[in-house]
Chains A and B, each alone.
Chain A
């Protein structure tokens, strides 16, 4: 066969003129768009046209808008638009006519002309629509499965939104959204993996063009639409309600777009893994999932699991590079010195024996590939270790913060959309029947000014029920000096300073009413004794800034609601006596919250009943579901319940985002280590070219060669991952047991917290192994493409 290599001829004058004409057309189009002020609409389409969906969408959009657009604000410059399009097309036509196929050179036929082409080449096809369907359709299906499963699995949770009653009838299971997401993600990844597997094993090759086209055209639209949904209000209106479960889960991260693209990347990875596995297992025409022989060969090629390598790498991970290296060199040189002295004394009597021993000493030297292997193992190990330590410390901070927030805050709050809960005892009675609720307490909350002799501050005041508040928050335990909240019931027992003057001069003029009242009391004959004032519990930081102690008097002024004073309306004001001081460790709470009796608050703020009911649930991760259940029991609107996650949404999503970003940044270490693995495996492949040829001649199929070199890369990954896991956990244990002190001026906790979470630790190792697997794919494929005859040339 003559290699009919066709040449192209470029007529550059045509191409340049065509480019200029097309540019003019482009500018004309731009002017048309500017004239109609449609850039906002067009740019969205332009984004999509990157994947070539733009044209189709724009036509659809245009068709849909045309009837509605008659009353448009700006007139469409039809002439300009049409002219622009024509000029633009003409430019491209010129460019196309500038590129010509050169005529096939006329040359004599080869001697084999007419003979049958050998069958495998004759049968060869380089594009399969069915494979494209499997890859692209698989991606699309995986995305749909994810969205549908997420919706079905968690939409049974009665929503706490306004829309609650409408949807309570709807079906669907009621798993916690994160669990639903985990299940949906696993199912979707499985779908992507299986489609990749089927596509590759049917086509018996990797089919990169099909994979690229499939992912671009069928995989991208959904994440693009989801991303646009966050930006384009019209889309939000159209789809937002149907996709609420999806957006909710994505929103847990704070930045939903990031979540969509991460998940998309994950699904593409699953597809790639499936394609690769399918090709390896069945690419040579037969499904073969056995590994025994390949592992046998791979283990001899890279001896990762030698005690010296494992212990050495572990030592470097645990103690840094320098100390183990020093010890290693000291041991080695001592060993060599001893050995050489021995051989010399042996050689004095038997030179030949000495020569053979010397030879053996030389054999022990390590090859460069061995060094590379050790480096790669160390690299993966460092990455995994760093991931585990940093994520565990971040989890420690998060857990600490969560504990503090939940200690002072309820797990969920029941209230009404408008107004108060006058009948809160009845509501509480109903809530008691909801399984999972372990405590509840009514409260009234408001913002007030608080004034002492020395200072004024704006605080949040909460009316509480001392009998039940302990069942919801840790407030009773936070009280300093062994005080009890019950003392609020008996204000006369509050230990005062006993100095009458103490009560006489509240700060500023804000406490006039209190003064007057006291004066009245005094005037009525009890002047010698300090008045009995209702108690108030304040935080330690607030007490410090107001410079008050237990027994001191405070004035609380409400900006809302006025009373009629002698000279017109004045703000409402009441005097309280500090009954106790609490310390939660959270500056926010210790400086901003004060507590009084529910009854006092009712009087003060003219509230009937309570503002709401705080709940404590048995399982805080289940709070969202239980909150929904409570609303259901109460009959939906006008009641609503918000869980702690919703109330502190920004804080926790910021923490999650931070952790994710940190994880991604640290994964870069693993990716760099993966680069090392690629280099190592490529070196191995080059070193073993001849062996690969021999193995093929002995009957190892291409898939077997791929398996061997994948196994070699994976060994490095698994060894590095396990070493990283071990050293990371050891470091976490060290931090927990020995502790690393934190500057108390800066941090609110004394020592670095750690919390080893099983899932994220396992994930770190799994990511490392997956990354090494991916990294080994390319060199392994390179290895399998070594032709048998290549390595069998006599040297």
Chain B
């Protein structure tokens, strides 16, 4: 069974009383362990699609099955737990919480699970070392550069060893060299930890380096 099955998903926005159909009956399967890139014009609906995959946004119609389970049939607590345990998000901006240090930010998903603090911090420290930020654990996000913050965000998405990693233009705000570093990390994560990943990107060369490539256009997803 596919890890992720998307069945006939519709999503529209309403702007000034007019309907914009962003997703028009998207159906798709993603297997366990795949590394998938998603490209498309700006405004094509890539972020929308990723949000629906990650249960951050509800579709108007259609279903998303994770491991055979209909995610939108779950109640609030189950969905929250699902996001917490099985999905890691990385966005275009780092979205770290400004009041907390890098270490606390990375450990946050574990703290949400009410794991004990020392254990969570130990593993978070390990992850920060791995993304090359062992010397920045006590810095607040405001004191980190864009690339560093994005690496902290990546570490945060991995702290609970999620089954699925969703990355929305994680390198969009970074210079090419730093961006390549992040992509390398994503590939490592996929290979070493066996985490299934869907990466939205504008960078065609980066997209081409991924084993499976998808294109979103005119409300539908096609293999590219």
Contact = CB atoms under 8 A, between A and B. Distances in A.
Given A112-B10, A112-B60, A115-B10, A697 B25 contact: no
A73 B80 CA distance: 71
Contacts of A390: none
A36 B156 CA distance: 80
Interface stretch (A286-294, A309-317, A464-472, A541-549): A286-294
Interface stretch (B86-94, B144-152, B202-210): B86-94
A792 B61 CA distance: 22
B20 interface: no
Contacts of B93: 794-795
Interface stretch (B29-37, B95-103, B125-133, B179-187): B95-103
B131 to A, nearest CB: 18
Contact of A789 (B56, B61, B98, B111): B56
Contacts of B99: 300-301
Interface residues of B, number: 50
A691 interface: yes
A536 B76 CA distance: 85
B112 A115 contact: no
Contacts of A116: 8, 61-63
B45 interface: no
A2 to B, nearest CB: 9
B77 interface: yes
A119 B57 contact: no
B118 interface: no
B24 A111 contact: yes
A453 interface: no
Nearest to A294: B112
B138 to A, nearest CB: 15
Interface string B58-72: 111111000000101
Contact of B56 (A121, A704, A788): A788
Given A116-B61, A117-B61, A293 B112 contact: yes
B85 interface: yes
B135 interface: no
A704 B21 CA distance: 33
B188 interface: no
A795 B63 CA distance: 29
Given A119-B72, A699-B109, A792-B95, A112 B58 contact: no
Consensus secondary structure, chain B interface? mixed
Contacts of A694: 95, 97
Contacts of B92: 794
B8 A702 contact: no
Interface in A109-156: 110-112, 115-121
A701 B97 contact: no
A453 B113 CA distance: 93
Nearest to B85: A699
A157 to B, nearest CB: 51
B57 A789 contact: yes
Contact of A792 (B10, B56, B73, B78): B56
A118 B75 contact: no
A704 B80 CA distance: 10
A112 B72 contact: no
A72 B211 CA distance: 97
B161 interface: no
Contact of B57 (A702, A788, A794, A795): A788
A285 interface: yes
A698 interface: yes
Nearest to A117: B61
B84 interface: yes
A698 B108 contact: yes
Contacts of B89: 697-698
A112 B70 contact: no
Contact of B63 (A119, A296, A300, A700): A119
Contact of B58 (A1, A118, A300, A792): A118
B136 interface: no
Contact of B81 (A118, A292, A699): A699
Contacts of A293: 111-112, 114
Contact of A285 (B76, B91, B111): B76
Interface string A719-735: 00000000000000000
A586 to B, nearest CB: 62
Contacts of A204: 75-76
B215 interface: no
B25 A112 contact: yes
A246 to B, nearest CB: 43
A283 interface: yes
A284 B76 contact: yes
A113 B77 CA distance: 30
Contacts of B95: 690, 693-694, 697, 792
Pick the most buried of B81, B111, B112: most chain A CB atoms within 10 A of its CB. B112
B212 interface: no
Nearest to B113: A699
B213 interface: no
Given A115-B10, A120-B73, A691-B97, A698 B57 contact: no
A253 B24 CA distance: 69
A787 interface: yes
Pick the most buried of B60, B77, B114: most chain A CB atoms within 10 A of its CB. B77
A484 interface: no
B84 A699 contact: yes
A120 B10 contact: no
B77 A286 contact: yes
A733 to B, nearest CB: 39
A111 B114 CA distance: 44
A116 to B, nearest CB: 6
Given A118-B63, A788-B57, A792-B56, A699 B80 contact: yes
Contacts of A301: 99
B24 to A, nearest CB: 5
Contacts of A285: 75-78
Contacts of B73: 119-120
B179 to A, nearest CB: 16
Given A112-B10, A697-B56, A699-B81, 13 more contacts: A110-B19, A112-B61, A115-B10, A119-B63, A290-B114, A301-B99, A698-B84, A699-B113, A702-B76, A703-B77, A788-B56, A789-B56, A795-B93
14 contacts: A1-B61, A110-B12, A112-B10, A116-B8, A693-B95, A699-B82, A699-B83, A699-B84, A701-B76, A701-B80, A702-B76, A787-B57, A789-B56, A794-B172
Interface of A: 1, 110-112, 115-121, 204, 283-286, 288, 290, 292-293, 296-297, 300-301, 690-691, 693-704, 787-789, 792, 794-795
Interface of B: 8, 10, 12, 19, 21, 24-25, 47, 51, 54, 56-63, 70, 72-73, 75-85, 89, 91-93, 95, 97-100, 108-109, 111-114, 156, 169, 172
Closest 3 CB pairs of A and B: A699-B84, A285-B75, A284-B76
